[in-house]
Structure 1
Amino acid sequence: MTVGAGVAVQDGSLVALGRRILTDVRRNVLVTPAAGGGLTNGAFLGVRSAPAGSRSVFPVGKLRDLRFMCTFRFKMWWMTQRMGSSGRDIPFETQFLIVEGVDESRFTGDGAEQSVVYTVFLPILEGSFRAVLQGNADNELEICLESGDPAVESFEGTHLVFVGAGSDPFEVITNSVKTVERHLQTFSHREKKKMPDMLNWFGWCTWDAFYTNVTAEGVKEGLQSFEKGGVAPKFVIIDDGWQSVSMDPVGIASIADNAANFANRLTHIKENHKFQKNGREGHREDDPAKGLAHIVNEIKGKHELKYVYVWHAITGYWGGVRPGVDGMEHYESKMHITTNGLGLVNPEKVFSFYNELHSYLASAGIDGVKVDVQNILETLGAGHGGRVLLARKYHQALEASIARNFPDNGIISCMSHNTDNLYSSKRSAVVRASDDFWPRDPASHTIHIASVAYNTVFLGEFMQPDWDMFHSVHPMAEYHAAARAVGGCAIYVSDKPGNHDFNLLKKLVLPDGSIMRAKLPGRPTRGCLFSDPARDGKRGGGLPVQERFLASDTERSREYEVFTVVPVMHLSNDASFAPIGLIRMFNSGGAITGKAIEFSYDDSCGLVTFELGLPVQELYLWTVSVKY
């Protein structure tokens, strides 16, 4: 069946595979089949005869009495989930929506379960405009279209939202994103991207350990502290605090709770004095060997680190690049109006900026970058052709520089949950999946885990979601650790030196520093796709095989269980076993890389001997002889 089949407007309703999804559809709504063959039933929604404007809102049709899950931006930087059953429940800035096309009762009169049609709505980019979804008080689903530049007003309006439908929600989502990929040709699906190897190793981030007060000595102290407990990180992220920054002479400080000064601007490509050998404040060391390279070479050599990443904002620093500063004039940065203003590098010069920054970092032994504050670009589109064009220019330049300087595709995208970025990312393969881990906010932890899981339903089609750092010594440490073990993500902590729970870390990390990473991004199961465990006021539980439900089967708030499900293998002598892996690890099954059994039987004593052939390279796996 070709793309476009199965989704249509019939008798005033939007119908997907025979299921009515929206009613009272506006007459100006246009349905356009996707060009060429495809993997899913679907079509594009647009509008006819739309008036020009840099921002417009178009009602589509009414959504009533059908469960949905959506991801929307609750902050400029981040998405979270929302569940509901009517159009008025759909929040502003909804970037992904999936509707369960079934009546409230799943069963027909004879007790048979009705078939379910899952319908996905993906608001996309068209030309210089970005579409999102929202609801109104009349239960109508609306399309909000915006360019981000008052001078950019004209749009075609035919391909604003892709609608896909099918019986498997996860297949529908994947195939719909792939259809949009073919249509836009501006981004790549996660399956086509090179995953950086740092994902497979345990890491440490300096942020919560030091915030912007991080120093070269602090990095060394932190790594030594881990080694004392026998759990050594193999990658390090040197977060905010290593760059050369300062406020404008007449600037107004804007200090966040975590000590980052948002009014600071970048004043030099190279590191500040804290990361120079024998560095002094106010003095710049020009010898590259005494710059960042000296600490990187030392910690890689002494602690056998595989990868060192550093942090920077997509605009250089929180306040951008200071215009006219010595040595950086050629980037032609200009002030743009945000809080305290932002020094934005000329989009035509931004590749030069990234390449000079990244080539210097690479020469110092740095393997990748965490690129933060990405969504700030959406506020700066005026005078640059709009937010979509500005974001695309920056991301094309950024990814070109990453490809040139960091061959392992060493980039983590952060504060980047808008579709300007997602639909412009050809190479970037790792994305922070939710708001931060907030160690001092007790209410944030269950919400953090739930947001990551539900955001991953959408984000996981574009990149490998990153669940953020956590602390190994914390009231919710095990909760966070268990979630990351099944998340398919990098596992890294931000412990202060000397403040580690090595028993917990050893449930995540093998002796060589590698982790047993799940193969795919961790998502909610189909059964809870439309239920919000963080906000529904219910406790979790599972129905045992024997169909009895006990109080002990119920998980209280902030409790967890990790289940490893493996098939039972039967041998010819009627012996059976299940290879559950390393039982002391959270992801025990991750230790099983294959099952190939050779066995012999000694009938004189009843001894069965079989060998499990496993790789011997670096990961502490070898051929194991088991006697039964």
Structure 2
Amino acid sequence: MVALSTHCYRITTINWSPRIHSLTFDSSLTYTLRVSKRTKKQFASGISLSSINSINPSFLYKRSEIKSLLVETEREAEREKEEKEMTVTPAVRIADRKLIVKDRTILTNVPDNVIATSGSTSGPVEGVFVGAVFNEENSRHVVSLGTLRDVRFMACFRFKLWWMAQKMGDLGRDIPLETQFLLVETKDGSHLESDGGNEENQLVYTVFLPLIEGPFRSCLQGNSQDELQLCLESGDAGTTSSAFNHSLFISSGTDPFGTITDAIRAVKLHLKTFRQRHEKKLPGIVDYFGWCTWDAFYQEVTQEGVEAGLESLAAGGTPPKFVIIDDGWQSVGGDPQNADEEKQQPLLRLTGIKENAKFQKKEDPTVGIKNIVNIAKEKHGLKYVYVWHAITGYWGGVRPGVEGMEEYGSVMKYPTVSKGVVENEPGWKTDALTVQGLGLMNPKNVYKFYNELHGYLASAGIDGVKVDVQCILETLAAGLGGRVELTRQYHQALDASVARNFPDNGIIACMSHNTDALYCSKQTAVVRASDDFFPRDPVSHTIHIAAVAYNSVFLGEFMQPDWDMFHSHHPAAEYHASARAVSGGPVYVSDAPGKHNFDVLKKLVLPDGSILRARLPGRPTKDCLFSDPARDGVSLLKIWNMNKYTGVLGVYNCQGAAWNSIERKNTFHQTGSEAMTGCTRVARLSLYLTMLQCLYPSRSLSTKYSLSHPSRSWPPGSASHHWGSLTCSMLVEQLRGLDMKFRVVSSFRN
């Protein structure tokens, strides 16, 4: 409250808020002026002492008194600002038994034993860590986090022990077991895209990251009451706890991709056990075309077969610059069986670190695998040769007591598979590993094994390894401190050996989609993004493309996703090839020698064997994140990426096949349409269009416009199929607000 005399003054200002042009004090009577907090704030933000241009008094009055009023108002506004900064309401918080995100309620009925800890020590709080307390210690706990309804979500869950896939829904009951990543979109304001910057009317994205805490690993799941549950497991009956503080991280924002990156960064700073993709060295193979022996030969691969494949691809004008010699090169054998034992297919185990007889030079067996490495590099000009091995040595581990490998301390262990995995993949009950066990090396000795294996391979000219079967470790942790601890010990040893023996960071992680591994990986920069390419399984191809794209939303924060090999001579060849082009990862095939489609390959591979690789992990566009392009019968999958100077958009029909939650396997289903028409507003691609505009405002680029525009041709005056040259700024300007329609036919299914 400010007392004023009966004098009138008009204060004219410059550089002021456009809402307040002058301030007049009426001199007709003596009164007190009530100045609201909002007015003071507007006044203080719009005027300062230096902005006074003129004072025109009706009566003689001291200018210092007017200045005093301004100073007092400015100081009060500053105090209010400081008080507000000191009492910022967290963007994510639990209050009144609700999870509230930017003033929107995401979860209701949050139990009292669920606790939240701030994710930041200063400034605005954008995330919280969540835990729970229980009445008794146990090796497995399940707690409700509250009721989830009236949202849209995308979950990445493990449908197999080894691999994740995507699931969309809008209720808690839709969230699968073994969910390791959950992205939620609020419906508030979901149709108000032009909101003048008012965050109240923007879409809000909330990311849930179940973490590892001590020896426990957590995941999410739903139940029939629409409760979102947190499941915590150690994998070892002797490793127990009853209190958890940091088992889940929740963060939010208005850009889904930025929100995810920021959340992973916050978790990294908390755990200090892993690094993000941009902090790791990508191996050289990602920028070259390659060939893998697996689908060409499976375990019957020989060095003669390897050479035949390299020759065949080079002869067609697409010379590979790297090769992965997959399973089939190692020295393995089954367990000895007594005559009275029931005959069964033996599970093979590693019996030595060197190659088997197929990869020994006939004239001089001591040369070993170095012979084919020399042929590949010297005769065929390859830059990199990788070989395959399991994280435990081989599928059945290392045979205990085998001559020459006693020092690794291998003992027989039988997998104990978590309840959620068994529910999703019932076959584990009778799997060969469950029945016959695995020879697990002592975790204290596993670095010695990796170093001797990798050292031998490096001395032969091998540049890297594809390390498979990684998730098996979580099932073997009984009596060893739990799944997290066993995984950590193995991965620390693996990272150290790769760093020592393969300076190009030559490693690909495979069958490795559990968070036990993701949250302890500091070295590996390339990870297989989904279940295998299955050339003989027609149900698998659309499922594969959808899975790699959605899994990359999460996996791409840790490593560069590898969308796997494919066949160039196959009904789905172009479908797979175009996806690899937009993936940002390695491009390689597994063709049998002489069975190639060079028309397809030459669209991917330059004559020198290099590729034009996209720079980021390929991911669904923003408008596809919560639609289901495999199941809903109406949605197309749009995948975006960045090249060095341009943006890339791929559009795919993935309808008609998906993982069946009832049959627990991939199945076809009817969608009612083989050809799909979809639409996107290019404004939804604003992330990379803005990057283009900022980074390369005058760069010229070529773009192929092959989209159907019912209301106008684009660019102006052109046909709908057109090659044009324009600047990035022009591209952004002409694309914004334009509806693009696609018609994509899926014609390769048998």
Question: Do Structure 1 and Structure 2 share a fold, with TM-score over 0.5?
Answer: yes
3-state SS in 2 of match to 1:298: helix
Deviation at 1:462, TM superposition (A): 0.4
The correspondence of residues 507-586 of structure 1 with structure 2, limited to 5 A, is 507-540=603-636, 557=674, 578-580=700-702
Q: 1:166-181 to 2 correspondence within 5 Å?
A: 166-181=253-268
Which of 524, 529, 550 lines up with 1:428 in the alignment? 524
Q: 1:265 aligns with which of 349, 363, 372?
A: 349
**Separation in structure 1 between the aligned mates of residue 675 and residue 356 of structure 2, nearest angstrom:** 42
The code of the aligned residue for 1:463 comes to: M
Match of 2:377 in 1: 300
- Name the residue aligned to 2:437: 341
The answer for the alignment partner of 2:51 in structure 1 is none
1:155–1:357 CA distance, 2 compared to 1 (3 A) = farther
Quick check: 1:221 aligned with 2:312? Answer: no
Equivalent position SS for 1:160: strand
Deviation at 1:535, TM superposition (A): 1.2
Residue in structure 2 matching 1:363, options 451, 454, 459: 459
Alignment CA distance shift 1:295-1:123 (3 Å)? same
Matched, 1:28 2:113: yes
Q: How many residues align?
A: 558
For 1:419, the equivalent position in structure 2 comes to: 515
Structure 2 residue identity aligned to 1:579 = L
The one-character-per-residue Cα deviations of 1:11-65 (angstroms, maximum 9, x if unpaired) are: 2210011111001111111110125458971010111345210011011100011
Per the alignment, residue 314 of structure 1 pairs with 391
Show the counterpart of 1:59: 144
Structure 2: which amino acid aligns with 1:278?
K
- 1:71 Cα deviation from its structure 2 partner: 0.3
**SS in structure 1 at match of 2:219:** strand
Aligned residue for 2:541, secondary structure, equals: helix
The separation in 2 between residues aligned to 1:539 and 1:566, in whole angstroms, is 23
Identify the match of residue 276 of structure 2 among 177, 185, 189.
Answer: 189
Tell me by how many angstroms 1:114 deviates.
3.1
* Correspondence list, 1:378-417, <5 A: 378-417=474-513
1:377-408 Cα shifts (integer Å, max 9, x gaps) = 01000011000000000000000000000000
Question: Residues 558 and 36 (structure 1 numbering): CA distance in 2 closer, same or farther, change over 3 Å?
Answer: farther
Please state if 1:158 is matched with 2:280: no
User: Which residue of structure 2 aligns with residue 626 of structure 1?
Assistant: none
State the match for 2:210 in structure 1.
123
Change in Cα spacing, 1:40 to 1:310, as seen in structure 2 (3 Å) is farther
Q: Which structure 1 residue ranges, 5 or more long, are not aligned?
A: 256-260, 280-284, 543-552, 571-575, 585-591, 596-628
What CA distance in whole angstroms lies between the structure 1 residues aligned with 2:362 and 2:299?
A: 19
Partners of 2:326 and 2:125 lie apart in 1 by 42
- Measured against aligned partners, the alpha-carbon deviations of 1:404-452 in whole angstroms (never above 9, x if no partner) come to 0000000000000000000010111000000000111111111100000
The amino acid of 1:238's aligned partner reads I
**Partner in structure 2 of residue 610 of structure 1:** none
Deviation of the 1:557 alpha carbon: 4.8
Structure 2 match to 1:85? 170
Q: Which consecutive residues of structure 2, in runs of 5 or more, have no partner in the other structure? A: 1-84, 415-433, 639-650, 654-672, 707-724, 729-750
Could you give the per-residue CA deviations for residues 295-339 of structure 1, whole angstroms, max 9, x where no partner exists?
101111001000000000000000000011111010010011133
Residue equivalent to 1:99 = 184
CA distance in 2, matches of 1:190, 1:234: 24
Structure 2 partner of 1:142: 229
C-alpha distance in 1, partners of 2:259/2:689? 27
Equivalent residue, structure 1, for 2:368: 291
| 8 Å contact kept, 2:142–2:231 | yes
CA RMSD of aligned residues (A): 3.1
The yes-or-no answer on 1:330 pairing with 2:415 is no
Aligned-residue identity in percent: 60
Q: Structure 1 541/407 Cα, relative in aligned 2: closer, same or farther at 3 Å?
A: closer
2:598 aligns with one of 502, 506, 523 = 502
SS of the counterpart of 2:487?
helix
Match of 2:103 in 1: 18
Contact 2:189 2:203 survives alignment (8 Å) = no
Deviation readout 1:155-192 (Å, 9 max, x if unpaired): 53011100001111111100000000000001111110
Query: Are the structure 2 counterparts of residues 383 and 39 from structure 1 closer, same or farther at C-alpha, using a change threshold of 3 Å?
Result: farther
Distance 1:44 1:366, change over 3 A: same
Task: For 2:322 and 2:585, locate their aligned partners in 1 and report how far apart those are by CA, in whole Å.
Answer: 14
- How far did residue 107 of structure 1 move? 5.1
User: Matches of 2:449 and 2:652 in 1, distance apart?
Assistant: 54
How far apart, CA to CA, are the structure 2 residues paired with 1:78 and 1:311? 18
Letter in 2 for 1:162: F
- Report the residue type matching 2:229 in the other structure: E
Contact 1:40 1:175 in 2 (8 A): no
Per the alignment, do residues 40 and 77 of structure 1 end up closer, same or farther by CA in structure 2, a change over 3 Å counting? farther
CA contact (8 A) 1:55 1:146 kept: yes
Return 63-72 or 97-106, whichever deviates more.
97-106
Paired with 1:499 and 1:566, the residues of 2 have a C-alpha distance of 40
Distance change in 2, residues 1:560/1:321 (3 Å): farther
1:237 paired with 2:359, answer no
Q: Which has the higher helix share?
A: 2
Structure 1 counterpart of 2:565, from 469, 472, 477? 469
Say if 2:474 is the partner of 1:352.
no
Normalised to the residue count of structure 1, the TM-score between the two structures is: 0.84
Asked whether the equivalents of residues 128 and 385 of structure 1 are also in contact (C-alpha less than 8 Å), the reply is yes
Change (3 A) 1:226 1:38: farther
Task: Tell me the distance in 2 between the aligned counterparts of 1:524 and 1:173.
Answer: 14
TM-score (norm. length: structure 2): 0.70
CA–CA separation in structure 1 for the residues paired with 2:605 and 2:204: 41
| Aligned partners of 1:238 and 1:310 also within 8 Å | yes
Change (3 A) 1:29 1:244: same
Shift in CA distance, 253/148, structure 1 to aligned 2, threshold 3 Å: farther
Aligned to 2:133: 48
Alpha-carbon distance between aligned partners in 2 of 1:530 and 1:162, rounded to the nearest angstrom = 21
CA distance change for structure 1 residues 37 and 469 in 2, over 3 Å: closer, same or farther? Answer: farther
Give the partner amino acid of 1:316.
Answer: G
**Higher-RCO chain (CA-CA 8 Å, sequence separation at least 6):** 1
* Match in the other structure for 1:483: 579
